[in-house]
A and B are shown apart, each in its own frame.
Chain A
Amino acid sequence: MLQEHAKIVDFISTAEGVTGRKKLQKMIYILKKIGVPFQEKYEFHIYGPYSEELTARIEELCDMGFILEQKEDKSSYVQYRYTVTDEGLEFRNALGKPVFENSEHAIQLNGKSARFLELTATLLFFDDLEQDEQIAKLHSVKGKLNFTEEEIAEAFAFIEELKQ
């Protein structure tokens, strides 16, 4: 019961907070793809893999008071920062076993930019394709972002690193 909520709280707590909705979406997706048992269903949207279920779950956790959403005004744009409250920690401890055997993953992902995570998540979305097709597909759906060869190589290396 409420186990899926507890997993999200556990993740945000392990990552020591997450800044940016897009970033949070992509981090959970990447973890799911490497085998962390998140249940949220993902579809391909404007910025790559996106889960409406995850958005709803985060909003629910904010309503429950387990996660704090803070708006950070960056003058030209607004960002959302998510942190776990004391009540959230109590909830996690009461309900869920920790999800992460390797908590470094959460920290590693959190250290990456939203752009890089979008790239990585998008490549993973097309991981049933051969690598050259995967790259062609990336350019076809994300043409405007002009990902460089270096960025793409870095993303592939990062995926391998996570899988180990």
Chain B
Amino acid sequence: MDYANQKLAEEKVFKDPVHRYIHVRDQVIWDLINAREFQRMRRIKQLGTSYLVFHGAEHSRFSHSLGVYEIVRRILDDIFHGRPEWDESERLVVLCAALLHDLGHGPFSHSFEKVFNVDHEDFTREILQGDTEVNSILKKVAPDFPKKVAEVIGKTYANKQVVSLISSQIDADRMDYLQRDAYYTGVSYGHFDMERILRVMRPFEDQVVIKSSGMHAVEDYIMSRYQMYWQVYFHPVARSAEVILRKILQRAKYLSGHGYKFEQPPTHFFAFFDQSFTLKDYLALDEGVLMTYFQLWITERDPILSDLCDRFVNRRLFQYVDFDPGKDYKKLGELAQLFQKAGIDPEYYLIDDSTSDLPYDFYRPGEEEERLPIHLLMPTGDIKELSRLSQIVDGISGKRRTDYKLYFPAELLIDGKKKEIKQQILELLREGGV
């Protein structure tokens, strides 16, 4: 039997708190899970710095990736199998894409990518198509198979139905992370009836649609998503930790570029500081490596690097105030000058951060929208866009909410030094809503 269709002698199962069991029968999937690049995801947390707010949120990208694979496997094997609208020959490429979609994520990837100007999607593509264990496994299926998997993940695959299973407004990725993140953070939002949604999913032309009888389960999913974003993903304290993390990396890069001699040379970072990194350098990093450097850097001579690392490791986070950039951007300049006068470098200690979310977007007639809306399959065989039928979804559709915060080290402003200047700073911050 060819490798693509080879089955394990016995089904393997992973115990999983979200889906109960993850089932593996395909040899290819089993081999991919055991590849070193996939195992690396055990050492990268799914929710980055959120564990500093929700202490349970220590789960990894490894478990999320298995979860996405399992959801897609259930859709294909239990729901789509045998339906004429579904092309059975696409099964393996979708399963592999589901399993490997997050492969290029690095440690604390949001901050890391910003500071070192890298993109985890480029790394996913490189891992799939470069000199890696994952690539050698995929190539055994067919020489062009790694490229196909990369195209599905990169949303450039010709069969759009396949792409929409992995990335759309209701896809396996979101369905897993909402439930998994809710479970590990311990919040009561994020739960919805996934079994029901899966049962009413149908392949339809070049997309995946939901039978209209499942509309209420989809409403529940959209609301869960809305709640999770504002209660967990955009939590202002987790963002404070993220801000500090970003500034640590920025400071280390700055010091390296200005001839600073580290007491503990950050050998893992040098290639990123001078932008000469290779895939091998990237794969050598994980959150354990970064946390080790942060620990070591606490004793560095540079007071900023040392302080920021101490803040991150020991959770001495920045305070925050709401601010309105439209009105307050001039005040921001004023604050930066006052910080300078007070001897506190605003580059590292006065940081504006914004975050926004659009819970669901619909199709507006006449305007070419980039997001494919969720379509309901009516008993007549027609399809209708979700927000046309659901009042609840209509209420939050197309409405973006943005949250702006200004982060700063509160205790440095009340330490008694340069009192007058700091008093002015505090007054300005108070006006901003402290």
Contacts and interface: CB of A to CB of B under 8 A. Distances in A.
B269 to A, nearest CB: 21
A50 B370 contact: yes
A45 B366 contact: no
Nearest to A51: B370
Contacts of B330: 94
Nearest to A87: B326
A45 B332 contact: no
A137 B147 CA distance: 12
A78 B326 contact: no
A43 B158 contact: no
A117 to B, nearest CB: 12
B366 to A, nearest CB: 3
Contacts of B400: 56, 59
Given A47-B370, A94-B330, A60 B402 contact: yes
Contacts of A153: none
Contacts of A125: 156
Interface in A18-77: 21-22, 25, 41, 43-47, 50, 55-56, 59-60, 63-66, 74, 76-77
B336 A1 contact: yes
Contact of B356 (A5, A21, A56, A76): A56
A46 B366 contact: no
Interface in A81-98: 87, 91, 94-95
A2 B155 contact: no
A46 B370 CA distance: 5
A65 B367 CA distance: 23
Interface in B301-343: 324-326, 329-330, 332-333, 336
Given A60-B402, A64-B326, A21 B367 contact: yes
Given A64-B325, A65-B326, A1 B332 contact: yes
Contacts of A77: 365-367
Contacts of A140: 156, 158
Contacts of A79: 366-367
A41 B326 contact: no
Contact of A78 (B121, B366, B370): B366
Contact of A2 (B154, B158, B352): B352
Residue from A64, A126, A137 having most chain B Cβ neighbours under 10 A: A64
Interface string B372-407: 100000000000000000000000000010100000
Contacts of B371: 45-46
Nearest to B351: A1
B364 interface: yes
A141 interface: yes
A28 B369 CA distance: 17
Contacts of B351: 1
A80 B367 contact: yes
B2 interface: no
Interface residues of A, number: 36
B368 interface: yes
B367 A91 contact: no
Residue from B324, B364, B369 having most chain A Cβ neighbours under 10 A: B369
Nearest to A75: B366
A141 to B, nearest CB: 5
A64 B323 CA distance: 12
Contact of A76 (B119, B121, B366, B368): B366
Contacts of B155: 43-45
Given A1-B332, A56-B356, A44 B154 contact: yes
B329 A94 contact: yes
A113 to B, nearest CB: 13
Contact of A91 (B329, B336, B364, B370): B329
Contacts of B213: none
A50 B365 CA distance: 19
B325 A45 contact: no
A141 B356 CA distance: 30
A5 B367 contact: no
Nearest to A37: B117
A25 B369 CA distance: 11
Contacts of B34: none
A47 B368 contact: yes
A50 B167 CA distance: 14
A47 B369 CA distance: 8
B332 A78 contact: no
A56 B402 contact: yes
B6 interface: no
A1 B330 CA distance: 11
A63 B356 CA distance: 12
Interface in B144-171: 154-156, 158
Given A44-B155, A78-B366, A137-B156, A63 B326 contact: yes
Contacts of A41: 119
A29 B365 CA distance: 25
B366 A60 contact: no
A81 B365 CA distance: 17
Interface of B: 119, 121, 154-156, 158, 324-326, 329-330, 332-333, 336, 351-352, 354, 356, 358, 364-372, 400, 402
Given A56-B400, A78-B365, A91-B329, 12 more contacts: A1-B352, A2-B325, A2-B329, A43-B154, A44-B155, A56-B356, A60-B325, A60-B356, A63-B326, A66-B326, A95-B329, A126-B156
6 contacts: A1-B329, A63-B402, A65-B326, A66-B326, A78-B364, A79-B366
Nearest 9 A-B pairs (CB), nearest first?
A64-B326, A77-B366, A78-B366, A45-B370, A50-B370, A44-B155, A56-B356, A140-B158, A44-B156
